[in-house]
Amino acid sequence: MENLVRREFGLRTTYLNTSSCGVLPRRAVAAVRALTDELAAGRPGGAGEYGTVTAVRAAFARLAGTDADRVAVGGSLATAVGLVARSLPPGAEVLFPEGEFASVIMPFAARGDLKTRFVPLDGLAEGIRPGTALVAFSAAQSADGRIADLAAVRAASAAHGTRTLLDASQSAGWLPWRAGEWDFTVTVAYKFLLAPRGLSFLTVTEEAQGTLEPLFPGVFASADGALYGPPAGLATTARRFDESPAYLTFHAAAESLEVLAEAGADAVYRRVTALAGRLREGLAERGYAPLPGESAIVAVPGLADRVPELAAAGVVTSARAGNLRASFHLYNTPAHVDRLLAVLDGTAPTAPAPE
């Protein structure tokens, strides 16, 4: 993996903020540059290659342990969640963890005719009850990186006939998973999947596909891809839920997903959780109280005000819900952990350490 990291990344800061935005691999940057240069020169093929969309769909399916026919592509998390929200009957109850990311909640709350209920994350499985139509939650919480008890939620949902919507935006790319274990999953690509903004994935089990209504079908959702009518109908796969693709993002994502595949999900998981564990241990030794767990995302309550100081020293983190939040990916090293701790100690050199 070290050779891959050296080839693909050239960090100039101690970047610990993948939870906000991932770092683009060099080959993804090159793909975008090549396409924009062709567009500026008058590219004969138009805005991009649809074959790249097919390749990205398949690459994500492999990463998520599902079939490409179960994957729809779009542009945002809220759009994908909105398809699921529109599928519920009036009065249906939707269960969320307290503090869940707003884009998971808002499409349901905005309808005005659904019952929304919130319970603590560690009581999510117990909160599922007869009559709960859907449980919607993130595998790893945005605010603090806490990981839900996925096995318990699956078991409780199955016991009560409750559908599941898993947001993998803060976990896909470092936490091994299987999308087919959930009725629906939603994932944005610009975090741990290392792509630019403008790409999201919706996975739908074969059985659950019959519950969704395509709300914005266009040429890319059609059965035959014909540009002109009369239409031949919609695709029989999850492609019927597709939005029109933003080709620049897809051309980059094809390369980014290839980098993740070369690194290997298990190797990335071991690397990032070890680094996060090193940081938690170092923080605890200094009297801080990071939230415990095995997440790649480390949250320290009460330290959000140190984020500007860290940034001035070249350590990029984020402030969320009163927490200092640091998040690790395959391009991070033990030196990055030590740099953050040194800045907090007041012992770091003024200039950022060279990478």
Contact indicator for 71, 61 with CB cutoff of 8 Å: yes
The CATH number of residue 112's host domain is 3.40.640.10
Q: Is residue 32 part of a domain?
A: yes
Residues 38, 9 share a domain:
no
Residues 288, 147 share a domain:
no
Q: Tens place of pLDDT for every residue, the chain, 355 residues?
A: 899 999 999 999 999 999 999 999 999 999 999 999 999 999 988 888 899 999 999 999 999 999 999 999 999 999 999 999 999 999 999 999 999 999 999 999 999 999 999 999 999 999 999 999 999 999 999 999 999 999 999 999 999 999 999 999 999 999 999 999 999 999 999 999 999 999 999 999 999 999 999 998 999 999 988 889 888 899 999 999 999 999 999 999 999 999 999 999 999 999 999 999 999 999 999 999 999 999 999 999 999 999 999 999 999 999 999 999 999 999 999 999 999 999 999 998 765 544 5
pLDDT at 230: 86
Q: Is residue 118 part of a domain?
A: yes
Residues 91, 160 share a domain:
yes
Total residue length of the chain: 355
Q: Is residue 140 part of a domain?
A: yes
Spatial distance between the Cα atoms of 276 and 255, rounded to a whole number of angstroms: 26
Helix axes of 50-64 and 247-263: crossing angle, nearest 10 degrees: 40
DSSP state of 286: T
Residues 66, 40 share a domain:
yes
**Number of domains comprising the chain:** 2
- Which of 195, 230, 262 terminates a domain? The answer is 262
Domain that holds residue 212: 28-262
Residues 190, 48 share a domain:
yes
Spatial distance between the Cα atoms of 307 and 299, rounded to a whole number of angstroms: 12
Paired with 316 in beta bridges are 15
Contact indicator for 260, 292 with CB cutoff of 8 Å: no
Residues 295, 165 share a domain:
no
The CATH number of residue 335's host domain is 3.90.1150.10
Q: Is residue 355 part of a domain?
A: no
Q: Is residue 161 part of a domain?
A: yes
Residues 276, 236 share a domain:
no
Spatial distance between the Cα atoms of 254 and 58, rounded to a whole number of angstroms: 10
For 233, left (φ over 0), alpha (ψ -120 to 50), or beta? left
Spatial distance between the Cα atoms of 258 and 152, rounded to a whole number of angstroms: 32
Report CA-CA distances (Å) from 287 to 295, 296, 323, 327.
20, 21, 16, 20
pLDDT at 351: 55
Contact indicator for 170, 191 with CB cutoff of 8 Å: yes
Q: Is residue 67 part of a domain?
A: yes
Residues 200, 94 share a domain:
yes
Residues 281, 149 share a domain:
no
Q: Is the dihedral of CA 136, 238, 67, 172 positive or negative?
A: negative
- Which of 215, 241, 262 terminates a domain? The answer is 262
Q: Is the dihedral of CA 284, 289, 295, 296 positive or negative?
A: negative
Contact indicator for 304, 319 with CB cutoff of 8 Å: yes
pLDDT at 350: 61
- Which of 216, 241, 262 terminates a domain? The answer is 262
What are residue 29's phi and psi, to 5 degrees? -60, -45
Q: Is residue 353 part of a domain?
A: no
Per DSSP bridges, beta strands 315-316 and 297-301 are unpaired
pLDDT at 352: 52
Residues 8, 103 share a domain:
no
Q: Is residue 350 part of a domain?
A: no
Place of tokens 């342990």: 65
Residues 99, 52 share a domain:
yes
Residues 122, 242 share a domain:
yes
